[in-house]
Chains A and B, each alone.
Chain A
Amino acid sequence: MISKQKMKVVYGLMVYFLVVGVLCYAAFPVSPPEEPMRIMFKVTAGKVLFDHYAHTSETAYGLSCWDCHHHPLDDDAALIACGECHTANETAEQPPDICGDCHEPDEIEDTPIIKRSDAFHQGCIECHQAFEAGPIECAACHMMM
Chain B
Amino acid sequence: MTLENQQKLEKMALSVREHIVRLSTDGGCFTGASLSCADLLVYLYSDFLNVRPDNLQDPTRDYLFLSKGHDVPALYGTFVELGFIDKARLDQHLSTDDHIYWHPNRNVPGVEFHSGSLGHLPSVALGVAMDCRMRGQDNKVIVITGDGELNEGTVWESLLVASAHKINNLTLVVDRNHFQANVATEDLIPLEPLAPKFEAFGCEVRRIDGHNFEQLADTFSALPFSETKPSVIICDTVRGRGLPSIEARADRWFCNFSADEVAELLRELHSQVATTLTSETLTVR
A, B from the same assembly: no
Interface residues of A (CB under 8 A from B): none
Interface residues of B (CB under 8 A from A): none
